[in-house]
Amino acid sequence: MLEAWPQARLAAGAAVYLKRTVVLEPTEVCVRYLFQLETAPDGTQVFVNGWQVGAARAGQPLMVNVTDQVALGDNEFMLRITQRGRLEGITLQAVPCE
């Protein structure tokens, strides 16, 4: 999704904002949506449709239930990154409701 990010653009005291629009279609069954970030620079903030849903800690994966922040159609996912580092394993999963 956003793994290839321009680390060279990150100056001291600045932030890089990475955005991606994801289109969600209707499903046949009830689902909840889980956003996962396996690796990110410490303090990376995650926003979904303008709502902050979490922040990454160095070396720890982040998994957030974003069902209440998404809707059918276009959804904007944004990462605010203030430190250099690896950005890997970004996924949005539709998981059947229990």
pLDDT tens figures, 26-71: 999 999 999 999 999 999 999 999 999 999 998 799 999 999 999 9
pTM for this predicted structure: 0.86
Which residue is it, tokens 């990010």?
5
CA within 13 Å, CB half, 38: 8
Contact 9, 75 (CB under 8 A): no
* Pair of tokens at residue 98: 């229990």
Q: How far apart are CA 89 and CA 84, in angstroms?
A: 16
Could you give all domains of the chain from N- to C-terminal order, each with its CATH number? 7-96 (2.60.120.260)
Dist CA 27 CA 94 (whole Å): 9
